[in-house]
Amino acid sequence: MNSSTINLALTTDGCGLLTIDLGAIAGNYRRLAAEVRPAAAAAVVKADAYGLGAIPVSQRLYQEGCRSFFVAHFLEAVQLRPSLPQDAAIYVLNGLQPGHEERAAILGIVPLLNSMEQTRAWARTAATHGRRLKAALQVDSGMSRLGLSGEEITGLLAEPALAADIELTLLVSHLACADEPENSANADQLEALREISSRFPGLPISIANSGGMFLGEAFHGSLARPGIALYGGAPHSGGENPMRPVVRLDIPVIQTRTVPAGAQVGYGGALVADRTMRLATLAAGYADGLPRNLGGRGAVYYGGKRLPIAGRVSMDSMTVDISDLPEGTLTLGTPVEVIGDHQTLEMIAEDADTISYEILTRLGRRYQRRYI
Ligand SMILES: *Cc1c(COP(=O)(O)O)cnc(C)c1O
């Protein structure tokens, strides 16, 4: 992409240009699939594929050979279902909610069964349809979030009638600390899952998220479930990020000014100029997903130069200190980099005291989106 195309797009559409590199997502998928082979790799496309567009992302990954997709909510599965061929399985991580059974059965959406109650409801639905229905069984191996406990599994196995109506395709569990390779909780959870798995001979297991895929072969199971690493985020906190960047965000300048020492900058006068300062106001703010706590600590980049965010981030704009750039460098419409070659997703997340997941999933809807 050259900068003149960015300029053109920005001057036509205003608030900012979000470039999503589907080729990089595909490359990351191939990298992750190779990491766990001979196990298979799914794609977690919940929250609109972490804000990047569940439909284009899923369709691209289907082309790469991905056949298992995970969303969080039933509605997400309903929206995605028509965009993928029928041999793609769509799993709903949050489980089967009352009232969704019928549509799930008709649309061929595969629920995760997180409780006895959900399992019985799915079995009843199967009985009314006169056929076995597919499901994944989620077990809680130590995160205390979703899934059946070991005790509940015992109860479930005592109701063999359920097995007549439900075809289990996957035993799922989720790691609480996969981003910390040294954390012993990972091995404890794997052990707990294996224990449960021994009671379901031959049932494939799925435990690894992005981080889990890099914890060694023992964690690969039959199907890995990467999310953040597909989208360029680091699978482990700290250290090298082996994934290709996927997102670029450029925001145009909407005004520049020079202020004297003593001038207040932005809401609350949170910054008072201690010298003559040159400032640029940019066309995006916290309503566009740029965290408010970047005020006074985050930065944007232009031509490789760091431009600190001056004062508070507003709803629709923010002001940056451009005193270090030669005068006249930035003019109306000039795009500056918020995420890109100089500022990675991880860097901005760290400045905002959060994680890459939150930055991505909050990216605003007012940006012009460009898929490459
Ligand atoms: C979100 C999620 C994933 C993907 O996690 P990443 O850390 O983004 O790879 C996998 N499994 C479950 C159950 C999840 O909720």
Per residue of the chain (372 residues), what is the pLDDT tens digit?
Answer: 444 455 545 445 669 999 999 999 999 999 999 999 999 999 999 999 999 999 999 999 999 999 999 999 999 999 999 999 999 999 999 999 999 999 999 999 999 999 999 999 999 999 999 999 999 999 999 999 999 999 999 999 998 888 899 999 999 999 999 999 999 999 999 999 999 999 999 999 999 999 999 999 999 999 999 999 999 999 998 878 999 999 999 999 999 999 999 999 999 999 999 999 999 999 999 999 999 999 999 999 999 999 999 999 999 999 999 999 999 999 999 999 999 999 999 999 999 999 999 999 999 999 999 999
Ligand 1 pocket at CB < 6 A:
44, 46, 93, 174, 209-211, 225-229
- Amino acid type, 243: M
Which amino acids are annotated catalytic? 46, 267
Task: Assign 3-class secondary structure to 223-266.
Answer: EECCCHHHHCCCCCCCCCCCCCCCEEEEEEEEEEEEECCCCEEC
The token pair that represents 176 in the structure block:
């609480």
Domains assigned to the chain: 22-231 (3.20.20.10), 247-371 (2.40.37.10)
Return the pLDDT at 1: 43
Whose C-alpha lies nearest to ligand 1, atom 6?
Answer: 227
Q: Which of 93, 180, 246, 345 to mutate to test the pocket of ligand 1 (most atoms within 8 A of CB)?
A: 93
Q: Which of 45, 113, 146, 209 to mutate to test the pocket of ligand 1 (most atoms within 8 A of CB)?
A: 209
CA-to-CA distance for 71 and 43, rounded, in angstroms?
9
Please tell me the distance between residue 177's alpha carbon and the centre of ligand 1 in angstroms: 11
Q: Are the CB atoms for 179 and 145 separated by under 8 Å? A: no
Please tell me the distance between residue 316's alpha carbon and the centre of ligand 1 in angstroms: 31
Return the pLDDT at 160: 82
Q: Which of 44, 71, 220 to mutate to test the pocket of ligand 1 (most atoms within 8 A of CB)?
A: 44
pTM for this structure?
Answer: 0.95
Please tell me the distance between residue 198's alpha carbon and the centre of ligand 1 in angstroms: 24
Nearest atom in ligand 1 to 46's CA: 1
Q: Are the CB atoms for 16 and 249 separated by under 8 Å? A: yes
- Helix, strand or coil, per DSSP, at residue 278: strand
Return the pLDDT at 2: 47
Return the pLDDT at 239: 79
Return the pLDDT at 156: 92
Please tell me the distance between residue 174's alpha carbon and the centre of ligand 1 in angstroms: 7
Q: CA 39: distance to chain centroid?
A: 22
CA-to-CA distance for 147 and 153, rounded, in angstroms?
10
